[in-house]
């Protein structure tokens, strides 16, 4: 089965599914494989009609089945930085190189290679392949909003999110929330600062206050030593103001990202940030009504904690906890027992010369046969 897995992976790697690219070629190829195996398939188009998520059921939909979940999209790859062509599967020793080999076309190829065996098992399985995980999880949000789980018939008894874990079950991961603060001031010549409103001053005030608010909230958040780091974190990803040293900045912005433990109250934290921005907005408008301070909430990737009482989760044995985010939290929130489990090492994801060990795919193939 490893030869068939590599054959399918070779085709998947040859199709560029970077988040900015039309992914329909990959959807067409995968759906054709599934249709030939007798699977029931359904596309969910993106709002712009250029991408699609793919749902499939193998077996009787009346029976509760198991979901294999993955994402078809990848991060970009600059060919001139790679030693191997990013969109051509290249075998070197025991490794298969190419963008997406680990994250996560290798796992998808293995499932597709085993479709006939899964169908012959007499059990029911579902496949959920999304088109935008790397760009902001918009595809899984769209699926949830469209009640996509109704497609499966009986409620699934479990979900396996096939992110690269070296086949170690992951029972919890941090959530990821990102947001932005935008300041509109009034530009002026630096020789006459009284004629302007310094947007830079307000973004610095927002930065200092954000740090203090985070410190206040984090004091009540319990750590979990199973995570590394063992606590919720926040980082200022971008901070900028103005466009010339001899001008009063007319605009400024700050973006931040939280990696939060399951159970931490990020809503309260972000409400305080929103209130901070409202207070700053009142202050800046007192100087010039055309100025503003705006809080813009962004993507929130659900944190994930597996249901420890679920027989499906127990089947995987003792699990680990990680700080990176996946689509698992969205399935768990639907009441579907969920685990993160797949071939490959997350350290290879998004890297130059991304690769997966053939042995990882071999072990995953053997695991699929035994499920």
Instruction: Write down which residue in 247, 278, 300 finishes a domain.
Output: 300
HSE value, Cβ hemisphere, 13 Å, CA-based, for 163: 22
Judge if 26 and 53 occupy the same domain. Answer: yes
Q: What digits encode the pLDDT tens for the residues 288-331?
A: 999 999 999 998 998 999 999 999 999 999 999 999 899 999 99
Given the residues 73, 253, 353, 354, the one annotated as active site: 73
Question: Is pLDDT at 371 greater than 80 in this prediction?
Answer: no
Confidence of residue 21 (pLDDT cuts 50, 70, 90): confident
Instruction: Write down which residue in 300, 323, 354 finishes a domain.
Output: 300
- What is the secondary structure of 246-277 as a DSSP string? TEE-SEEEEEEEEEE-TT--HHHHHHHHHHHH
The reply to whether 366 belongs to the active site is: no
How many separate domains does the chain show? 2
pLDDT at 150: 86
Judge if 28 and 165 occupy the same domain. Answer: yes
**C-alpha torsion sign, points 272, 275, 281, 282:** negative
Instruction: Give the Cα separation of 183 and 284 in Å (integer).
Output: 9
Instruction: Give the Cα separation of 84 and 352 in Å (integer).
Output: 9
Cβ(196)–Cβ(276) below 8 Å: no
Q: Is 208 exposed, middle or buried (0-12, 13-18, 19+ CB in 10 A)?
A: exposed
Judge if 24 and 150 occupy the same domain. Answer: yes
pLDDT at 19: 85
Question: Is pLDDT at 1 greater than 80 in this prediction?
Answer: no
pLDDT at 85: 97
Least confident of 7-16, 34-43, 141-150, 197-206: 141-150
**34 vs 263, which has greater pLDDT?**
34
pLDDT over 70 for what percent of the chain?
A: 100
Judge if 111 and 11 occupy the same domain. Answer: yes
Beta strands in 154-250 (DSSP E): 158-161, 170-173, 175-184, 188-189, 233-241, 247-248
Confidence of residue 125 (pLDDT cuts 50, 70, 90): very high
Judge if 22 and 148 occupy the same domain. Answer: yes
Q: The domain spanning residue 286 has which CATH number?
A: 3.30.70.360
Q: Across the chain, what does the average pLDDT equal? A: 95
Given the residues 133, 327, 354, 357, the one annotated as active site: 133
Judge if 167 and 307 occupy the same domain. Answer: yes
Judge if 148 and 230 occupy the same domain. Answer: no
Judge if 115 and 228 occupy the same domain. Answer: no
Domain with 283 in it: 175-300
Query: What burial letters (b/e) apply to 164-181, b meaning 16+ CB within 10 Å?
Result: bbeeebbbbbbbbbbbeb
Q: What digits encode the pLDDT tens for the residues 45-97?
A: 999 998 999 999 999 999 999 999 999 999 999 999 999 999 999 999 999 99
Judge if 116 and 41 occupy the same domain. Answer: yes
Cβ(255)–Cβ(143) below 8 Å: no
The reply to whether 253 belongs to the active site is: no
Cβ(19)–Cβ(132) below 8 Å: yes
pLDDT at 36: 94
Q: The domain spanning residue 45 has which CATH number?
A: 3.40.630.10
**C-alpha torsion sign, points 252, 178, 45, 164:** positive
Question: Is pLDDT at 148 greater than 90 in this prediction?
Answer: no
Average of pLDDT values for 183-210?
97
Instruction: Write down which residue in 300, 317, 352 finishes a domain.
Output: 300
Judge if 159 and 181 occupy the same domain. Answer: no
Judge if 325 and 239 occupy the same domain. Answer: no
Cβ(181)–Cβ(206) below 8 Å: yes
Confidence of residue 20 (pLDDT cuts 50, 70, 90): confident
* Distances 325 to 6, 299, 364 between C-alpha atoms, Å: 27, 12, 21
Instruction: Give the Cα separation of 254 and 303 in Å (integer).
Output: 24
Judge if 188 and 214 occupy the same domain. Answer: yes
């Amino acid at each position: 089965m490893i030869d068939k897995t590599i054959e399918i992976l070779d085709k998947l790697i040859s199709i560029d599914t970077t988040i900015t690219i039309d992914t329909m070629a990959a959807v067409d190829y995968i759906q054709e494989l599934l249709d030939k195996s007798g699977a029931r398939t359904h596309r969910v188009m993106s709002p712009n009609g250029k991408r699609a998520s793919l749902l499939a059921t193998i077996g009787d939909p009346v029976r509760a089945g198991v979901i294999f979940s993955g994402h078809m999209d990848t991060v970009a790859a600059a060919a001139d930085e790679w030693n191997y062509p990013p969109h051509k599967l290249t075998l070197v020793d025991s490794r298969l190189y190419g963008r997406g080999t680990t994250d996560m076309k290798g796992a998808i190829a293995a499932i597709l290679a085993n479709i006939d065996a899964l169908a012959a098992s007499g059990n029911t399985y579902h496949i959920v392949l999304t088109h935008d995980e790397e760009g902001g999880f918009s595809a899984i949000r769209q699926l949830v909003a469209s009640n996509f789980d109704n497609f499966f018939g009986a409620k699934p008894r479990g979900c396996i999110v096939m992110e690269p874990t070296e086949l170690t079950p992951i029972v919890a991961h941090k959530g990821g929330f990102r947001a932005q603060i935008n300041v509109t001031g009034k530009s002026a010549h630096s020789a006459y600062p009284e004629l302007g409103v310094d947007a830079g001053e307000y973004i610095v005030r927002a930065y200092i206050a954000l740090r203090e608010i985070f410190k206040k909230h984090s004091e009540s958040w319990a750590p979990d030593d199973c995570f590394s780091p063992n606590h919720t974190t926040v980082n200022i990803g971008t901070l900028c103001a103005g466009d010339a040293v001899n001008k009063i900045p007319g605009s400024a912005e700050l973006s931040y990202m939280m990696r939060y433990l399951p159970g931490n109250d990020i809503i309260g934290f972000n409400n305080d940030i929103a209130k901070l921005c409202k207070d700053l907005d009142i202050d800046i408008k007192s100087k010039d009504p055309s100025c503003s301070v705006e809080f813009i909430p962004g993507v929130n990737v659900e944190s994930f904690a597996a249901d420890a009482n679920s027989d499906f989760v127990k089947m995987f044995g003792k699990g680990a906890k990680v700080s990176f985010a996946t689509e698992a939290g969205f399935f768990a929130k639907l009441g579907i027992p969920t685990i993160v489990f797949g071939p490959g090492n997350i350290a290879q994801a998004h890297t130059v010369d991304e690769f997966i060990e053939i042995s990882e795919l071999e072990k995953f193939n053997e695991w699929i046969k035994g499920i």
